[in-house]
Amino acid sequence: MKRCMSICCVCAMALGLSFGVSTDTQAASSVKVIDGSQLTKDVESIGYTQKVARGEDLLTGYSKIVRMGPGEIYAGGTTLAAHEVERIGIGVIIERAKEEDTKWSFYDSWNKFLENTDRASSKKYLDVEGDYYYRVRCVHSANDDVSSSFTDGVYIEEP
C-alpha cells in the first residue's frame, strides 16, 4: 500500500511539473524578450538590482523608464547604501531595440557620484526617436560594492 502511494505521489508530481513547464513556456513565447527584458506597451517599467555576492555597503538600487508621450521618455535610477559611504554612484544607460532585433543598442548614458552620503539618484527627460522599445540599465556602486539593474523595454510611438 505504501509503495502504491509513493508511486502515485511521484506520478502526480511529475505531471504537475510537466504541466507547469509547458504553461511557462507558452506564456514566455508570446512576449518577445531581448537580453532579459520583455518588450512591452506598458507606460513604465522599474527594474531592481541583482544581489551583490559579497557586500556590506550597497543596499539596493533601481532603474526606471516612463513613456511621457510620443517621442518622450523619463529615464533614471537610484542607488541606496546600507549606511553613509565615502563614495556612492549611479551610471544610467539608455538602450533601444526594434521588435525584430536580437540585442539592445546603445542610445545615451551619464553618471553621477556623491561623497559621504547613503544615496545617489539621477534622472533626465529625453526626446527620443519613436517606433523603438527603450530600456534603462543602471550600474550601482557604494564604495567597492557594485551591482546592476535594468527595466523591461517600453514602446515609444513616433511624435
Residue 27, C-alpha cell as written in the block: 506564456
Kindly report which listed range (8-17, 71-80, 92-101, 104-113) carries the lowest average pLDDT score.
8-17
Query: What digits encode the pLDDT tens for the residues 3-29?
Result: 443 443 333 443 343 333 333 334 445
Per-residue pLDDT, 29: 56
DSSP class of residue 108 equals: E
pTM value? Answer: 0.79
Residue 122, C-alpha cell as written in the block: 539621477
Fold of 34-156: Immunoglobulin-like (2.60.40)
What are the residues facing 93 on neighbouring strands?
A: 109, 137
Residue 159, C-alpha cell as written in the block: 511624435
Q: Give Cα 81 distance to the centre of its chain.
A: 19
Give yes or no for residue 77 having a pLDDT over 70: yes
